[in-house]
Chains A and B, each alone.
Chain A
Amino acid sequence: EVHLVESGGGLVQPGGSLRLSCAASGFTFSDNYMGWVRQAPGKGLEWVGRIRNKVERYTTEYAASVKGTFTISRDDSKNSLYLQMNSLKVEDTAVYFCAREFYFKYDFWGQGILVTVSS
């Protein structure tokens, strides 16, 4: 059974940094593309970015709203996905979901982790 578990969320001041982790199990993590999606309180889903697999040289793509401030990485030896968030703004407050990307769809999702940016 596929499991994705996010961690590392919490309260951070504007301008601060935070690193989210996502631990994966139940599938061959290294073969798959992985992504992050966020949801601001009471709002809809927003795609954040994704990272390809080793075959595709771990290349990344990001939403325009986070490009240059967020970085996605992975450690296949630990079956883990990461989201490094720098220069955080109040509008980055959201629940962040990690998800497995499989042929243009996100078929498995973590439970989400709350990031609150506030002074």
Chain B
Amino acid sequence: QSALTQPASVSGSPGQSITISCTGTSSDVGGYNYVSWYQQLPGKAPKLMIFDVRNRPSGVSDRFSGSKSGNTASLTISGLQAEDEADYYCSSYTTSDTLYVFGTGTKVTVL
């Protein structure tokens, strides 16, 4: 099972919106609405930001939103803030030889 494909880096200025894509196959992203997004600050554990494609856990800012079209899921961060600078990983349930697959990760830089 190959990792889901994400852009290596995305950047934006404070206040702007950015979108991170996560491309898989019909065996994972396209086949199930079990896509999650995680934020990882340097040296820290991942933090769940979005689950089931578009749902936010309690306490996560509504500046974070998720969507999916076909085999590609997306995470949008609106009103970009300096504190959003981190690595972001998507994840999906899959029917391949592993139960879950993560994305390659995207480094978000706030200019």
Contact = CB atoms under 8 A, between A and B. Distances in A.
Interface of A: 37, 44-47, 49-50, 61, 63-64, 97, 103-112
A47 B46 contact: no
Interface of B: 1, 3, 32, 34, 36, 38, 40, 44-48, 51-52, 57, 89, 91, 93, 97-105
A47 B48 CA distance: 15
Given A97-B46, A106-B36, A112-B45, A64 B97 contact: yes
B27 to A, nearest CB: 14
10 contacts: A45-B40, A45-B102, A47-B100, A63-B97, A97-B45, A105-B52, A106-B38, A106-B46, A107-B57, A109-B45
Contacts of A49: 99
B1 A105 contact: no
Contacts of B98: 47, 63-64
Nearest to B32: A104
A56 to B, nearest CB: 13
Most A CB contacts (10 A, CB to CB) among B3, B48, B89 go to B48
